[in-house]
Chains A and B, each alone.
Chain A
Protein backbone atom coordinates (compact mmCIF):
# COMPACT_ATOMS: atom_id res chain seq x y z
CA UNK A 1 0.00 0.00 0.00
CA UNK A 2 2.85 2.30 0.94
CA UNK A 3 4.59 1.62 -2.42
CA UNK A 4 1.36 2.29 -4.29
CA UNK A 5 0.87 5.61 -2.53
CA UNK A 6 4.46 6.49 -3.34
CA UNK A 7 3.97 5.72 -7.04
CA UNK A 8 0.73 7.67 -7.16
CA UNK A 9 2.45 10.58 -5.48
CA UNK A 10 5.26 10.62 -8.05
CA UNK A 11 2.85 10.39 -10.98
CA UNK A 12 0.63 13.17 -9.62
CA UNK A 13 3.56 15.43 -8.87
CA UNK A 14 5.03 14.79 -12.32
CA UNK A 15 1.74 15.55 -14.04
CA UNK A 16 1.31 18.69 -11.96
CA UNK A 17 4.80 19.89 -12.90
CA UNK A 18 4.31 19.16 -16.60
CA UNK A 19 0.97 20.97 -16.62
CA UNK A 20 2.40 23.89 -14.70
CA UNK A 21 5.41 24.44 -16.89
CA UNK A 22 3.94 23.68 -20.30
CA UNK A 23 0.98 25.87 -19.40
CA UNK A 24 3.17 28.90 -18.90
CA UNK A 25 4.89 28.81 -22.29
CA UNK A 26 5.97 32.39 -22.81
CA UNK A 27 3.98 34.69 -25.04
CA UNK A 28 4.52 38.41 -24.71
CA UNK A 29 1.94 41.03 -25.24
CA UNK A 30 2.45 41.83 -28.88
CA UNK A 31 1.97 45.10 -30.71
CA UNK A 32 1.67 45.22 -34.47
CA UNK A 33 5.10 46.83 -34.76
CA UNK A 34 6.63 43.64 -33.30
CA UNK A 35 5.90 42.01 -36.64
CA UNK A 36 7.68 44.67 -38.68
CA UNK A 37 10.84 43.72 -40.46
CA UNK A 38 13.39 45.73 -42.43
CA UNK A 39 16.03 44.10 -44.57
CA UNK A 40 18.90 45.88 -46.27
CA UNK A 41 20.92 43.88 -48.80
CA UNK A 42 24.03 44.94 -50.68
CA UNK A 43 25.62 43.41 -53.73
CA UNK A 44 28.85 41.80 -52.48
CA UNK A 45 30.42 42.16 -55.92
CA UNK A 46 29.90 45.92 -56.08
CA UNK A 47 32.24 48.10 -54.07
CA UNK A 48 31.87 51.51 -55.63
CA UNK A 49 29.01 52.90 -53.57
CA UNK A 50 31.09 55.95 -52.67
CA UNK A 51 31.23 57.01 -56.34
CA UNK A 52 27.46 57.39 -56.67
CA UNK A 53 26.43 61.02 -57.05
CA UNK A 54 23.07 61.06 -58.77
CA UNK A 55 19.88 59.06 -58.82
CA UNK A 56 16.64 58.74 -60.69
CA UNK A 57 13.58 57.62 -58.73
CA UNK A 58 10.65 56.28 -60.71
CA UNK A 59 7.75 58.39 -59.41
CA UNK A 60 5.31 55.53 -58.95
CA UNK A 61 5.05 52.25 -57.10
CA UNK A 62 4.82 48.94 -58.91
CA UNK A 63 2.07 46.70 -57.57
CA UNK A 64 2.82 43.24 -58.90
CA UNK A 65 0.05 41.35 -60.62
CA UNK A 66 -2.74 41.87 -58.08
CA UNK A 67 -5.95 43.26 -59.59
CA UNK A 68 -7.04 46.61 -58.25
CA UNK A 69 -4.21 47.01 -55.76
CA UNK A 70 -4.51 49.57 -53.01
CA UNK A 71 -2.40 52.61 -53.84
CA UNK A 72 -3.20 54.68 -50.78
CA UNK A 73 0.35 54.48 -49.39
CA UNK A 74 2.18 55.08 -52.67
CA UNK A 75 2.83 58.76 -52.00
CA UNK A 76 4.25 58.04 -48.54
CA UNK A 77 6.55 55.38 -50.00
CA UNK A 78 7.88 57.64 -52.75
CA UNK A 79 8.28 60.60 -50.38
CA UNK A 80 10.16 58.55 -47.78
CA UNK A 81 12.53 57.07 -50.37
CA UNK A 82 13.10 60.48 -51.95
CA UNK A 83 13.91 62.02 -48.57
CA UNK A 84 16.42 59.29 -47.73
CA UNK A 85 18.11 59.55 -51.12
CA UNK A 86 18.48 63.30 -50.66
CA UNK A 87 19.99 62.75 -47.22
CA UNK A 88 22.65 60.60 -48.86
CA UNK A 89 23.84 63.76 -50.57
CA UNK A 90 23.00 62.49 -54.03
CA UNK A 91 21.44 64.78 -56.62
CA UNK A 92 18.13 63.96 -58.22
CA UNK A 93 18.16 63.50 -61.97
CA UNK A 94 15.15 63.94 -64.22
CA UNK A 95 16.50 61.50 -66.77
CA UNK A 96 17.45 57.94 -65.83
CA UNK A 97 20.11 57.91 -68.54
CA UNK A 98 21.96 60.73 -66.78
CA UNK A 99 21.85 59.17 -63.33
CA UNK A 100 24.31 56.83 -61.64
CA UNK A 101 21.54 54.74 -60.13
CA UNK A 102 17.85 54.24 -60.77
CA UNK A 103 15.48 53.31 -57.98
CA UNK A 104 12.27 51.38 -58.36
CA UNK A 105 9.70 50.93 -55.59
CA UNK A 106 7.22 48.11 -55.53
CA UNK A 107 4.59 46.91 -53.07
CA UNK A 108 2.77 43.65 -52.55
CA UNK A 109 -0.16 42.71 -50.34
CA UNK A 110 -0.72 39.08 -49.46
CA UNK A 111 -3.80 37.75 -47.71
CA UNK A 112 -2.91 34.90 -45.39
CA UNK A 113 -5.42 32.53 -43.86
CA UNK A 114 -4.38 29.68 -41.59
CA UNK A 115 -6.17 27.19 -39.45
CA UNK A 116 -4.19 25.68 -36.62
CA UNK A 117 -5.48 22.46 -35.15
CA UNK A 118 -4.61 21.10 -31.77
CA UNK A 119 -5.93 17.93 -30.26
CA UNK A 120 -5.42 16.26 -26.96
CA UNK A 121 -4.38 13.07 -28.71
CA UNK A 122 -2.58 13.90 -31.95
CA UNK A 123 -2.76 10.29 -33.18
CA UNK A 124 -6.52 10.46 -33.14
CA UNK A 125 -6.78 13.54 -35.31
CA UNK A 126 -8.32 11.98 -38.38
CA UNK A 127 -10.59 9.50 -36.72
CA UNK A 128 -12.06 11.87 -34.19
CA UNK A 129 -12.14 14.95 -36.34
CA UNK A 130 -15.93 14.94 -36.68
CA UNK A 131 -16.51 14.02 -33.05
CA UNK A 132 -14.28 16.57 -31.42
CA UNK A 133 -17.15 18.87 -30.32
CA UNK A 134 -18.59 16.06 -28.21
CA UNK A 135 -15.48 15.81 -26.11
CA UNK A 136 -14.64 18.19 -23.31
CA UNK A 137 -11.42 19.06 -25.04
CA UNK A 138 -13.29 19.86 -28.23
CA UNK A 139 -12.90 23.49 -27.30
CA UNK A 140 -9.21 23.07 -28.06
CA UNK A 141 -9.88 21.85 -31.55
CA UNK A 142 -8.49 24.79 -33.45
CA UNK A 143 -7.64 28.43 -33.84
CA UNK A 144 -8.02 30.25 -37.11
CA UNK A 145 -6.31 33.47 -38.00
CA UNK A 146 -6.03 35.61 -41.05
CA UNK A 147 -3.99 38.66 -41.78
CA UNK A 148 -2.75 40.73 -44.65
CA UNK A 149 0.99 40.93 -45.10
CA UNK A 150 2.42 43.96 -46.82
CA UNK A 151 5.83 44.14 -48.41
CA UNK A 152 7.60 47.13 -49.91
CA UNK A 153 10.73 46.67 -52.00
CA UNK A 154 13.17 49.39 -52.96
CA UNK A 155 15.50 48.29 -55.71
CA UNK A 156 18.59 50.21 -56.74
CA UNK A 157 20.27 49.53 -60.11
CA UNK A 158 23.62 50.95 -61.06
CA UNK A 159 23.54 52.47 -64.54
CA UNK A 160 26.61 54.70 -64.37
CA UNK A 161 28.87 52.45 -66.45
CA UNK A 162 29.13 48.95 -67.60
CA UNK A 163 30.12 47.12 -64.46
CA UNK A 164 32.03 43.95 -63.86
CA UNK A 165 30.11 42.16 -61.13
CA UNK A 166 31.80 38.87 -61.82
CA UNK A 167 35.26 38.35 -63.34
CA UNK A 168 34.89 38.06 -67.09
CA UNK A 169 31.18 38.87 -67.09
CA UNK A 170 29.94 42.32 -68.00
CA UNK A 171 26.51 43.08 -66.63
CA UNK A 172 24.62 46.23 -67.35
CA UNK A 173 22.50 47.86 -64.66
CA UNK A 174 23.12 45.34 -61.89
CA UNK A 175 21.06 45.50 -58.73
CA UNK A 176 23.46 46.96 -56.17
CA UNK A 177 21.11 47.42 -53.24
CA UNK A 178 17.75 46.16 -52.12
CA UNK A 179 15.68 47.45 -49.23
CA UNK A 180 12.70 45.40 -48.05
CA UNK A 181 10.13 46.17 -45.41
CA UNK A 182 7.51 43.69 -44.35
CA UNK A 183 4.71 43.73 -41.83
CA UNK A 184 1.03 43.43 -41.05
CA UNK A 185 -1.50 45.64 -42.76
CA UNK A 186 -4.21 44.90 -40.17
CA UNK A 187 -3.77 48.30 -38.60
CA UNK A 188 -5.01 51.87 -38.82
CA UNK A 189 -4.07 53.86 -41.90
CA UNK A 190 -2.16 56.43 -39.86
CA UNK A 191 -0.16 53.74 -38.08
CA UNK A 192 0.60 51.88 -41.32
CA UNK A 193 1.82 55.11 -42.88
CA UNK A 194 4.13 55.78 -39.93
CA UNK A 195 5.43 52.22 -39.93
CA UNK A 196 6.18 52.34 -43.66
CA UNK A 197 8.23 55.52 -43.22
CA UNK A 198 10.04 54.08 -40.19
CA UNK A 199 10.80 50.89 -42.11
CA UNK A 200 12.16 52.72 -45.14
CA UNK A 201 14.33 54.92 -42.89
CA UNK A 202 15.62 51.79 -41.18
CA UNK A 203 16.62 50.21 -44.51
CA UNK A 204 18.76 53.24 -45.36
CA UNK A 205 20.18 53.46 -41.81
CA UNK A 206 21.29 49.84 -42.13
CA UNK A 207 23.20 50.68 -45.31
CA UNK A 208 25.84 53.25 -44.26
CA UNK A 209 27.98 52.21 -47.23
CA UNK A 210 25.53 54.10 -49.47
CA UNK A 211 27.03 57.25 -47.96
CA UNK A 212 30.48 55.95 -48.74
CA UNK A 213 31.08 55.03 -45.06
Chain B
Protein backbone atom coordinates (compact mmCIF):
# COMPACT_ATOMS: atom_id res chain seq x y z
CA UNK B 1 0.00 0.00 0.00
CA UNK B 2 2.79 2.34 0.96
CA UNK B 3 4.51 1.53 -2.34
CA UNK B 4 1.41 2.45 -4.36
CA UNK B 5 0.95 5.62 -2.32
CA UNK B 6 4.45 6.76 -3.13
CA UNK B 7 3.91 6.05 -6.85
CA UNK B 8 0.60 7.93 -6.75
CA UNK B 9 2.16 10.94 -5.04
CA UNK B 10 5.03 10.97 -7.52
CA UNK B 11 2.65 10.67 -10.47
CA UNK B 12 0.50 13.56 -9.22
CA UNK B 13 3.62 15.63 -8.54
CA UNK B 14 4.88 14.82 -12.02
CA UNK B 15 1.58 15.82 -13.63
CA UNK B 16 1.55 19.10 -11.71
CA UNK B 17 5.14 19.71 -12.66
CA UNK B 18 4.40 19.06 -16.34
CA UNK B 19 1.34 21.26 -16.20
CA UNK B 20 3.36 24.09 -14.76
CA UNK B 21 6.57 23.73 -16.74
CA UNK B 22 6.66 26.14 -19.54
CA UNK B 23 9.20 28.41 -21.14
CA UNK B 24 8.84 31.73 -22.87
CA UNK B 25 11.56 33.05 -25.12
CA UNK B 26 12.08 36.47 -26.65
CA UNK B 27 14.94 36.46 -29.14
CA UNK B 28 16.92 38.69 -31.39
CA UNK B 29 17.28 36.79 -34.66
CA UNK B 30 20.22 37.18 -36.98
CA UNK B 31 19.59 35.68 -40.39
CA UNK B 32 21.87 34.58 -43.18
CA UNK B 33 20.30 33.86 -46.56
CA UNK B 34 21.21 30.59 -48.23
CA UNK B 35 20.17 28.83 -51.43
CA UNK B 36 17.50 30.57 -53.47
CA UNK B 37 17.09 33.35 -50.91
CA UNK B 38 20.79 34.15 -51.23
CA UNK B 39 20.41 34.29 -55.01
CA UNK B 40 17.90 37.10 -54.50
CA UNK B 41 19.61 38.88 -51.59
CA UNK B 42 23.08 37.96 -50.49
CA UNK B 43 23.33 40.09 -47.34
CA UNK B 44 23.26 39.04 -43.71
CA UNK B 45 20.50 40.59 -41.69
CA UNK B 46 20.40 41.69 -38.09
CA UNK B 47 16.76 42.71 -38.41
CA UNK B 48 14.71 39.97 -36.85
CA UNK B 49 13.06 38.79 -33.69
CA UNK B 50 11.12 35.82 -32.45
CA UNK B 51 8.77 35.01 -29.60
CA UNK B 52 8.27 31.43 -28.50
CA UNK B 53 6.35 29.44 -25.94
CA UNK B 54 7.18 25.85 -24.96
CA UNK B 55 5.06 23.59 -22.79
CA UNK B 56 6.50 20.37 -21.37
CA UNK B 57 4.25 17.40 -22.04
CA UNK B 58 6.57 14.81 -20.50
CA UNK B 59 9.99 15.09 -18.97
CA UNK B 60 12.46 16.73 -21.30
CA UNK B 61 9.97 16.97 -24.18
CA UNK B 62 8.12 20.16 -24.95
CA UNK B 63 5.64 21.25 -27.59
CA UNK B 64 5.51 24.87 -28.59
CA UNK B 65 4.85 27.64 -31.04
CA UNK B 66 7.26 30.17 -32.44
CA UNK B 67 6.40 33.42 -34.16
CA UNK B 68 9.22 35.25 -35.88
CA UNK B 69 9.91 38.07 -38.28
CA UNK B 70 12.95 38.69 -40.41
CA UNK B 71 13.95 41.01 -43.18
CA UNK B 72 16.67 40.84 -45.77
CA UNK B 73 17.63 43.93 -47.74
CA UNK B 74 20.06 44.67 -50.49
CA UNK B 75 20.80 47.69 -52.62
CA UNK B 76 22.38 46.13 -55.68
CA UNK B 77 23.62 49.38 -57.15
CA UNK B 78 23.25 49.73 -60.89
CA UNK B 79 22.96 46.32 -62.48
CA UNK B 80 21.64 44.82 -65.70
CA UNK B 81 19.19 41.95 -65.62
CA UNK B 82 17.99 39.76 -68.47
CA UNK B 83 14.25 39.20 -68.53
CA UNK B 84 11.61 37.86 -70.91
CA UNK B 85 13.63 34.83 -72.04
CA UNK B 86 16.70 37.01 -72.57
CA UNK B 87 14.83 39.20 -75.06
CA UNK B 88 15.05 42.26 -72.83
CA UNK B 89 17.64 43.80 -70.55
CA UNK B 90 16.67 46.08 -67.68
CA UNK B 91 19.38 48.26 -66.18
CA UNK B 92 18.97 50.25 -63.00
CA UNK B 93 19.48 50.37 -59.28
CA UNK B 94 17.56 47.60 -57.54
CA UNK B 95 16.46 47.71 -53.94
CA UNK B 96 15.46 44.25 -52.89
CA UNK B 97 13.53 43.27 -49.78
CA UNK B 98 12.57 39.86 -48.43
CA UNK B 99 10.17 39.89 -45.48
CA UNK B 100 9.34 36.59 -43.85
CA UNK B 101 7.13 35.65 -40.94
CA UNK B 102 7.14 31.96 -40.05
CA UNK B 103 4.69 30.60 -37.50
CA UNK B 104 6.20 27.31 -36.39
CA UNK B 105 4.76 24.57 -34.28
CA UNK B 106 7.65 22.74 -32.70
CA UNK B 107 8.74 19.84 -30.56
CA UNK B 108 11.92 20.06 -28.51
CA UNK B 109 13.92 17.62 -26.49
CA UNK B 110 15.83 19.18 -23.58
CA UNK B 111 18.81 17.22 -22.33
CA UNK B 112 19.34 16.66 -18.61
CA UNK B 113 19.08 19.00 -15.68
CA UNK B 114 22.56 20.36 -16.00
CA UNK B 115 23.64 23.93 -15.26
CA UNK B 116 23.15 24.53 -18.97
CA UNK B 117 20.42 22.72 -20.87
CA UNK B 118 21.05 21.89 -24.50
CA UNK B 119 18.09 21.07 -26.70
CA UNK B 120 17.24 19.94 -30.19
CA UNK B 121 14.00 20.67 -31.92
CA UNK B 122 12.03 20.50 -35.10
CA UNK B 123 9.42 22.99 -36.23
CA UNK B 124 6.93 23.14 -39.04
CA UNK B 125 4.16 25.46 -40.09
CA UNK B 126 3.12 28.26 -42.39
CA UNK B 127 5.47 31.09 -43.31
CA UNK B 128 4.49 34.36 -44.93
CA UNK B 129 7.11 35.29 -47.48
CA UNK B 130 7.24 38.50 -49.47
CA UNK B 131 9.91 39.46 -51.97
CA UNK B 132 10.01 42.97 -53.34
CA UNK B 133 12.22 44.36 -56.06
CA UNK B 134 12.16 48.13 -56.51
CA UNK B 135 13.74 49.14 -59.76
CA UNK B 136 13.48 52.67 -61.05
CA UNK B 137 9.98 53.90 -60.33
CA UNK B 138 8.59 50.39 -60.58
CA UNK B 139 8.11 47.53 -58.21
CA UNK B 140 7.94 43.79 -58.72
CA UNK B 141 6.72 41.77 -55.79
CA UNK B 142 5.73 38.24 -54.92
CA UNK B 143 4.01 37.23 -51.74
CA UNK B 144 2.67 33.94 -50.56
CA UNK B 145 2.19 31.56 -47.67
CA UNK B 146 4.73 28.77 -47.73
CA UNK B 147 4.96 25.51 -45.86
CA UNK B 148 8.15 25.67 -43.85
CA UNK B 149 10.26 23.42 -41.67
CA UNK B 150 12.98 24.36 -39.20
CA UNK B 151 15.38 21.94 -37.48
CA UNK B 152 17.05 23.62 -34.53
CA UNK B 153 19.73 23.16 -31.88
CA UNK B 154 20.14 25.40 -28.86
CA UNK B 155 21.12 25.85 -25.28
CA UNK B 156 19.47 27.40 -22.25
CA UNK B 157 21.68 29.03 -19.65
CA UNK B 158 19.73 29.76 -16.45
CA UNK B 159 20.74 32.84 -14.46
CA UNK B 160 18.17 32.30 -11.74
CA UNK B 161 15.26 29.88 -11.28
CA UNK B 162 12.98 31.43 -13.84
CA UNK B 163 15.21 33.54 -16.05
CA UNK B 164 18.10 32.81 -18.34
CA UNK B 165 19.75 33.13 -21.71
CA UNK B 166 18.71 31.29 -24.87
CA UNK B 167 21.12 30.63 -27.72
CA UNK B 168 20.01 28.67 -30.75
CA UNK B 169 20.73 28.01 -34.39
CA UNK B 170 18.23 26.80 -36.92
CA UNK B 171 17.82 26.25 -40.62
CA UNK B 172 14.54 27.43 -42.08
CA UNK B 173 13.26 26.07 -45.36
CA UNK B 174 10.03 27.32 -46.88
CA UNK B 175 8.79 25.59 -50.00
CA UNK B 176 7.37 27.75 -52.77
CA UNK B 177 6.25 25.75 -55.77
CA UNK B 178 5.99 28.66 -58.21
CA UNK B 179 8.56 31.00 -56.79
CA UNK B 180 11.66 31.48 -54.77
CA UNK B 181 12.01 29.22 -51.72
CA UNK B 182 12.71 30.78 -48.35
CA UNK B 183 16.02 29.44 -47.09
CA UNK B 184 17.74 30.95 -44.08
CA UNK B 185 20.22 30.06 -41.41
CA UNK B 186 19.23 31.79 -38.21
CA UNK B 187 21.09 32.49 -34.99
CA UNK B 188 18.85 33.50 -32.09
CA UNK B 189 20.04 35.20 -28.92
CA UNK B 190 17.50 36.05 -26.29
CA UNK B 191 16.02 35.70 -22.89
CA UNK B 192 14.12 32.72 -21.59
CA UNK B 193 11.54 32.97 -18.83
CA UNK B 194 9.75 30.19 -17.00
CA UNK B 195 10.48 26.99 -15.23
CA UNK B 196 14.10 26.40 -16.03
Contact = CB atoms under 8 A, between A and B. Distances in A.
B75 A28 contact: yes
Interface string B74-98: 0100001000110111111101010
B100 interface: no
A39 B143 CA distance: 25
Interface string A15-59: 001101100111010000111111111111000000000000000
B48 A9 contact: no
Contact of B136 (A2, A21, A36): A36
B85 A44 contact: yes
A35 B136 contact: yes
Interface string B113-139: 000000000000000000000011110
B69 interface: yes
B89 A39 contact: yes
Contacts of B154: none
Interface string A188-213: 00000000000000100011000000
Interface in B14-51: 24, 26, 28, 47-49, 51
Interface of B: 24, 26, 28, 47-49, 51, 69, 71, 73, 75, 80, 84-85, 87-93, 95, 97, 135-138, 162, 191, 193-194
Q: Which 6 A-B pairs have the closest CB atoms?
A: A37-B136, A206-B89, A37-B92, A26-B73, A17-B49, A41-B88
